[in-house]
Each structure stands twice: as C-alpha cells, then as structure tokens.
Structure 1
Amino acid sequence: MRWADWSICSWVQGGVVGQDSSTGAPFRGNMEDSSNRVLTCSTTEEEEEGPTGLCYLAGLLLLVPVLLGSAFVEELDDTFMETTEPEEIWLIQFYAPWCSFCKQLDPVWHQIGSELRSLGSPVRVGKSDATVSTGLAKEFKIRNYPAILMLKNNVKFNYPGSRTKESIMDFADRVSGPPVRSLSSTHLFQHAISHRDVLVIYVGATSELKGNLTAAAEELIVHTYFFSASREILPQEVTLPSLPAVLLFKDGTYFIYDEEQDGDLKSWIKRERFPNFFLIDGYTLYAMGESGKLVLLALLEERHLCEENLRYKHLVEKVATEHKDTYSRKFYFGFMEDSSYIDGLIMGEALVPSLMVVNLSNDGYFLPPAPIETELQLLDFLDGVLDGSVEALGGNGFTQRVRRFLYETRMTLMPVFRDAPVLGCFLIGFPLAVGCVFCYLCIKNRPGSADDDEDTPLLAPSMQRKKKLTEKKSD
C-alpha cells in the first residue's frame, strides 16, 4: 500500500498512525525509505493513542487567541489619514519586519485588541508596517520601532511606558477619556486611589486654577490620571487650608500645590508624578529626566536577590521614607533589576549590586567615593552630590558624545558579527569600499598636472623671460 493511499497521518514513536482514505480503518505501521515510498502497515480496529494528537490539540488552543486577536487589529496603510473620521480614537503600533522587539510585542498587541473590544472600549487598535507605509510613518514622525501612539481628535499622544499589556491598556484608558474626570462619590474616590499609584485631584468650583490644571492634563494625561471632586468626597483626614486646591496623592499621603513655593503647576506635577520609592525600568528612568531631579538608584541582580542586594534596597528605601522632607525635592529613589540602561549611560558594565546617583538632564552620574555600609554614609554621599564635593562623571559634552556614539555603534554591531559575521562584514566593508572608490575618483580627476601652456602664467615674470631665452637659444 503506497503513502498516497493513507490520509490524516502523523508521526509517533515507533511508526506512523493514520486512517485509510478508502475504508476509514485506523492503522499503525512503519515507513520504509525507498524510491517508491511504500508503507507496510498493519490495519487494526483500535487506534493506538500517542502524544501527537495532544500536541495538535495544544497547538490549536494556542492559535485560537492569536486568531481571535488578529480579527480586532487592523492593518493600516498610507490611506489611513484620508479614510479615518475625526471622532475615531485609534491605538496604533508602527513596526518593522526585521525588528525583534516588534515581533515580541505582536502577540501582546493582538491580546490588547481583543480585550479592548470585549470591554466595549471606543478605542480601535491598528498597526502599520513603517517600511511599507512610509507616508503614514512620516506623517507621525516615526523614528524608532516599535512606536506606540494614540490618535484622538487628530491629536497624537506618544506612549512613554514599558511594552507590557497592562501598561498599554492603562495608557489607552487614560487618553481615550476626558483629560479631567469627575469623582461623584466617596466610593469612586476610594476605587481610584486604591488602583493607581499617583493621581491628581482638583477640589473646588470652576476657577482659573482649574483651567490651568485642565491645560496641564491635556499634555500630561499620557503619564497620570486627573480628577475633580467636591470637598465632601475627600476623607476627613485630608485638611485643606483654602479652596480651590490641587492635591497629588501618592505613597499613602498627599501633597497640596502651593503656587508661591512650587512655581508652575505643570512643572510641579512633572516633578511629583513618580512614587517616592519604586521599581524603575529604562523607560521610566528616561522620563524622569524631564523633572530635573536626581535619581538615587540601587542596582540589583535581576533574579538572585542575595543578602547584599537586599541590604542596598532596604537602605535606599529607608532614606526615601525617613528623610523624605529633606531630600524629596531634589531626589527620586528607586531600584533597578536590569542595568542595561545604566550600562549604556556609563558606557561600560555597571557593578551589581551597587549604589549610584543619576542626573538624566545631562546624562551624568555620581559614584560613591567609598563603599557605603550605613545610612549615615549614604546621607553623606547625597550631601556631597548636592554641594559638589563628589565628582560628577559622564555628561553630554562633545567628547562624551563622540565616545557614546562609538560605544553605541560597537554595541549595535557586536550582535551582528556574532550572529551573522558575513552580514556584519558586508555592512562595514561596503560603505568603506564605496568611500575608497569615491576618494580615488576625486584624486584622479582633480586638475593636477596641466599642459605647459597652462603652467606658464603661473610662473613668475623673471622665470618666464628665462624660459623664452632658453627656447630662442634652442631654436
């Protein structure tokens, strides 16, 4: 019996199982590797079970969420801006086929599309290949991949957070709603404050302060939530010297905005919108640079929190909690379990575990001059950073920029040479070869040696007369 006589065949340990296409009887047998591909099978009435069927079933179950999610994610092209309506709200991802981070985000993106649709959200989810739909990518000024943004009322809101489903869903919920949401009951206030690390609340009637908050919320809604409420909604332990007022809740307490002491309202929110002590990733650390504050970091091992890691973490947390009034206006406090961002900042491999202060406004950093063992030593280190006695490293000067460019180029090319050395040699050799050919052609075609008639005017008058006399004597 030949291979073509059997259908629904699959491999199991020890042979092949399938079903006869003509009789429908199950079989299990061996396949001989011959030129006519003949199967010698023994047909039985009972099919022997194997793990293959379970594998197929598991594979189908894994494909179901992806297929369902893809139905709620639309592929966008260059005609998107012409066909979309102004009232539509879009969550868009720009990707490139060669981008590994885009490939990692793709299943998450389909889950987001499916979940937003199931929740009845007005947000429509789409994605666009920036290497194909170049016009659309140019319209939104896409520079890196994957790029995530929200389009609402023809206004673009760039997503600044980590590429996780929870963070992106939270971003979509914030931006799709009104800039300032109303809290009409104590229950809603308790729900909002228990589900969010940081939130800003306006208390009072309509005023100029509320207009300023609304203007700030239209820009900062990508980072945090904004609410308005009456005085009766807030707990009794919240004391307000006067109304209207703006409060920022975080870390189990609240801060009241004071225009004379805190300055511009939007700048104050930018400075205070981060928790006092928390886990910091690369995206958050980059966003902290807008505030102008310094960041005290405990660099920890990602998975193995040994005693030394925990000691550094608890030391920073204790300073952040017990000395908040002294240092909170100048410092953020946190810990990082992935030091890749810091490696790029210092252009080397950061020591883990360790402590350091980062100045994101100029890409600078400070290292302790001596090992820190106690809380007092850490406080002395912070005081030294503020008064200038601790040396500042890094920065964004010309020399540092050149070094950083060379470092980033080397770090970009090293994986290419490691994984695809031929491609790496081509990427380096081809531009060099083109440059050498160009220089050769320029040198060859430059007006160097000319005829004697063209060289004569360039000689001094005395040399010209001598040349003429020599020519006459020769004649």
Structure 2
Amino acid sequence: MQSPAHRSSHICSSGIWSVATVCLCLKVFNFCAFLVQGFGVSHPYPWQGIVEVLLEVRLILDFFYFKGAYFNFWKTLNWLEGIASEFGVRGYPTIKLLKGDLAYNYRGPRTKDDIIEFANRVAGPLIRPLPSQHMFEHVQKRHRVLFVYVGGESPLKEKYIEVASELIVYTYFFSASEDVLPEYVTLPELPAVVVFKDGTYFVYDEYEDGDLSSWINRERFQGYLNVDGFTLYELGDTGKLVAIAVIDDKNSSLEHTRLKSIIQEVARDYRDHFHRDFQFGHMDGNDYINSLLMDDLTIPTIVVLNTSNQQYFLPDRHIENTEDMVQFINSILDGTAEAQGGDGVLQRIKRIIYDAKSTVVSVFKSSPLLGCFLFGLPLGVISIMCYGICTADTDGGVDEHETAKKENSDRELTDEGSEEEQEEEKNENYTELSDGDLKQKDLSEKKKD
C-alpha cells in the first residue's frame, strides 16, 4: 500500500499537467486545503502556481505523516465549478481549512512552516486557557503578539469568542485569571481584554477604542514590522496608513541605518499619537514597492502607503531626524501633503500598461528566445497580413482604373467607327440617288428627241 506522501508525490509528478483542483484532507486535525489552479492567472506559465503550492503540500504531508496522522489525498477534475461555488473560491491557488460549518481562508506565505502553524492554530480551540504563570510565560515567549481575556463569564467574553472565531486565521486567543498575569500588569477593571506586545501591554477600552473586532484587528501587529507583500495585504484590513523605510538590509551605510532608526523611534516614542492611524516598518529592496506604485524609488527613502485607495505620499524634503518624520506624518494627517497614485480611471489604465510592459520585460529577461517566439511570431503574422491587405487594395485599385480607362477608349473608338459608317452609307445613298437622277434625265431627253 502506498504511503500518503508517496501518493502526493505521484500527483505532483504525473498529474500536474491536468489537475484542476486538488483537495488535501488531514483527518486527525480536520484540515482540508483546496488548491485550485486556473488559467489566465498572474504566473508566466499556467501551472507554475500550483506546482509551487503542491511542493509545500507535499512537505506538509510528510510532516504530519511522521507524526502518525492519517491522510486522504486525492485530485478531482470534473467538479471544479462546484467546489469553487460551494466554498467561495475566487483566487488561485486557494488554501482553505474546514472546521465544522466554517471555512477559513489561508492568506499567509506559501511555506511549510506558515501553513502548518495556520493548521494547528485554526484546528485547535478558539480560546486557549492559561492555567498558570509558567504557562503564561511560555506562551508569551512563543508569540510576539498575545491577546488575553481576563475575568469570568460576561458579555465581553461572548464578544471576545465571536471575534476569535473570525480572526483566528491571523492570531491566537487566550484566557486567564488575574493571578496568572505578571505582577507589573495593572487592570483598571474586570473583565478586560489585554494585548501583550512590544515589551509592554495595552488594555482594551470600549469608549476610546470602539468595536472590539476593529481594535484586535489593528493591534494584532507589532508597532514596527519587517514589511513584505503578504504583510501589506493583511495591513489593508486595518485601515491604517503604512509608513515604510525602503532600504537595503545588506547595506550597512549610515543613510540606510539612519532611516530605519528614525521609523523605529517614531513607532516607539509616538505610539499614543499615531498608532490608531499608522503602522510603521521597513522593506528590504525597492522591487516590490516600485511595482506597487508604478514608480522608480531610489533607496534609501521613506514612503507612506494608503492601502485602502492605493495612494502614497513621499516627503518633499530630506528626512534628517525624528522631528522631520513627525512633521511629515502630521502634514499627511492635516491634508497638506500631496497624495500621489490612487485608484481612478487614469491610474487603472496606467496599471494595465505598466503590467503589460513588466510582463514583456520579465519574459525577455528570463528567456530571450522564448520572448522572441511569443511576441515575434504574432507580430510577424499580423505584419504580413496587414501588408497583404494593403498591397491587395492598391493593385486592385490600379487594375480597376486601367480597365475602366480601356473600356472608355473602346467606347470612343466604337462611337467613331459608327459615325464613319453612317457617313459612308449617306455617301453611297447620295451616289445611288445621283445615278438614278441621271438615268431619269437621260430617259426624258431621249423621249423628247
């Protein structure tokens, strides 16, 4: 009997060209991942995305297999539309975890560790209890952001459980009694929801922070982040502006380290002023940010992104210190800073042109011969067709003109010939008449004689 890992390897190697949907079920953890690969996606080749994800799925299979889990791994070819409709699949490839009547989407990095961590987090209980201080310290060391409900049964706990069922895909949720918390934690009242991060803690206040779900969604990130594409995608749900120092991590020059330090200082020292509206971090390299902004930013630099409407802000002068950065942020908040980009019609047209240009350039960079074939062959065929059409029209027009001219000449010659024939007939008739008159005249003269 084939092992589950061997079966997954068989699908990856022999079925990859025809697989439309792949379903992975881990029965012990009640974990199902639907990897749906369609055509016309953003990959240069239609099978590239599913190959990458299936390789990670095989690693996950191996991981759980060695832990003694039982698997059932199969592929489907005929019910893609039914799967997509049933589970609301709109993007490709998609990973979903089914738990009871709920289906959770995985939106993190496509790596083995991240997918396994997602499976363990969502498959477990929504609220994990912390019965002792030792357990609390152990969990706090493992998680950079820790949400804890403190207290007994209350409407706040019911709301906390409701929010946890929605946001468990992003972070863990815990509960504890007050005596389990560290001694430095002081709560104004019970029950309470506390978040531990950045070496300190913050207590949820319904009057100041608003809805609990919105507060947790904002606070589930550290004050300062190493920003990448997946992080920016998740930050879009928070409604915050993202202030990023775009630097080269491998470059240890003063300018690169200075901008990074400025962002870190603002995130730490001005949290009370800006944490509701801004998220701070740095990004390594400018390739992703250039493609996002359709611009060419020179690193090191600072850019502030509005992920909700795709606008961005650039400082109008060089950022020398923390005060300059604070002044730049305040100018954004009061509306005096100039916003660039956006999601208007012109920007969408620009995006289409930019994406097309980027695709062509990337194809030629990766494989010049393939690029020449993909783009040269259609252009050559179209050019030949256009040349043939234009040439055929020109020759046809000349031939028609010459034919019409020839017909007109023939008609003129025919008309001239007809006139000459008529004159000859008239002359002949006149001659015949003249001969007849002469004969009659001779006869009359003879009679007189």
Q: CA deviation at 1:163?
A: 1.9
In structure 2, the partner of 1:89 is 31
In structure 2, the partner of 1:114 is 62
In structure 2, the partner of 1:312 is 259
Q: CA deviation at 1:275?
A: 0.3
Q: CA deviation at 1:308?
A: 2.0
Q: CA deviation at 1:375?
A: 1.6
Cα offsets for 1:398-429 (capped at 9, x unmatched)? 22222222222332343345532322356789
Q: CA deviation at 1:183?
A: 1.3
Alignment CA distance shift 1:379-1:84 (3 Å): closer
Distance 2:84 2:310 in 1: 29
Larger RCO, structures 1/2 (Cα 8 Å, 6+ apart): 2
Q: CA deviation at 1:251?
A: 0.9
In structure 1, the partner of 2:166 is 219
Report percent identity of matched pairs. Answer: 38
Distance 2:161 2:112 in 1: 28
The residue type paired with residue 109 of structure 1 is V
Residues 302 and 314, structure 2, Cα contact 8 Å, conserved in 1: yes
Q: How does 1:169-208 map to 2 (within 5 A)?
A: 169-208=116-155
In structure 1, the partner of 2:333 is 386
Distance 2:246 2:350 in 1: 23
Distance 1:432 1:328 in 2: 58
Distance 2:206 2:279 in 1: 22
| Equivalent residue in structure 1 for 2:104, among 157, 162, 181 | 157
- Normalising by structure 2, what TM-score? 0.73
| Equivalent residue in structure 2 for 1:323, among 261, 270, 284 | 270
| Equivalent residue in structure 1 for 2:319, among 360, 372, 375 | 372
Alignment CA distance shift 1:145-1:78 (3 Å): closer
Distance 2:72 2:261 in 1: 41
Cα offsets for 1:170-203 (capped at 9, x unmatched)? 1111111111111112122111111111121111
In structure 2, the partner of 1:345 is 292
Distance 2:26 2:53 in 1: 25
Residues 247 and 254, structure 1, Cα contact 8 Å, conserved in 2: yes
Cα offsets for 1:74-115 (capped at 9, x unmatched)? 99987969x999993323433468343443444333222221
The residue type paired with residue 315 of structure 2 is P
Distance 2:163 2:54 in 1: 33
In structure 2, the partner of 1:399 is 346
- Greater share of helix: 2
Residues 150 and 190, structure 2, Cα contact 8 Å, conserved in 1: yes
Distance 1:162 1:351 in 2: 27
- Normalising by structure 1, what TM-score? 0.69
In structure 2, the partner of 1:98 is 46
Q: How many residues align?
A: 369
Q: How does 1:429-468 map to 2 (within 5 A)?
A: none
Q: CA deviation at 1:217?
A: 0.8
Residues 266 and 322, structure 2, Cα contact 8 Å, conserved in 1: yes
Alignment CA distance shift 1:303-1:106 (3 Å): farther
In structure 2, the partner of 1:423 is 374
In structure 1, the partner of 2:194 is 247
The residue type paired with residue 190 of structure 2 is L
Distance 1:270 1:103 in 2: 32
Residues 93 and 126, structure 1, Cα contact 8 Å, conserved in 2: no
Residues 197 and 275, structure 1, Cα contact 8 Å, conserved in 2: yes
Q: CA deviation at 1:276?
A: 0.3
The residue type paired with residue 375 of structure 2 is G
Distance 2:157 2:12 in 1: 37
Q: How does 1:1-40 map to 2 (within 5 A)?
A: none
Cα offsets for 1:259-304 (capped at 9, x unmatched)? 1111110011111111001211111111111111111101112543
Residues 95 and 127, structure 1, Cα contact 8 Å, conserved in 2: no
In structure 1, the partner of 2:178 is 231
Q: Secondary structure at the match of 2:288?
A: helix
In structure 2, the partner of 1:147 is 94
Distance 1:130 1:193 in 2: 45
In structure 1, the partner of 2:225 is 278
For the pair 1:289 / 2:231, whether they are aligned, the reply is no
Q: CA deviation at 1:131?
A: 9.8
Q: Secondary structure at the match of 1:304?
A: coil
Q: CA deviation at 1:335?
A: 0.6
Distance 1:425 1:216 in 2: 55
Q: Secondary structure at the match of 2:245?
A: strand
Residues 417 and 425, structure 1, Cα contact 8 Å, conserved in 2: no
Distance 1:379 1:79 in 2: 50
Distance 1:432 1:178 in 2: 64
Q: Secondary structure at the match of 1:365?
A: strand
Cα offsets for 1:411-462 (capped at 9, x unmatched)? 234334553232235678999999xxxxxxxxxxxxxxxxxxxxxxxxxxxx
Q: Secondary structure at the match of 1:163?
A: coil
Q: Secondary structure at the match of 2:187?
A: coil
Distance 1:344 1:326 in 2: 31
Indicate the larger mover: 72-81 or 302-311. Answer: 72-81
Residues 224 and 267, structure 2, Cα contact 8 Å, conserved in 1: yes
Q: CA deviation at 1:168?
A: 1.6
In structure 2, the partner of 1:458 is none
In structure 2, the partner of 1:298 is 245
Alignment CA distance shift 1:68-1:321 (3 Å): farther
Alignment CA distance shift 1:172-1:429 (3 Å): farther
Residues 95 and 129, structure 1, Cα contact 8 Å, conserved in 2: no
Q: Secondary structure at the match of 1:368?
A: coil
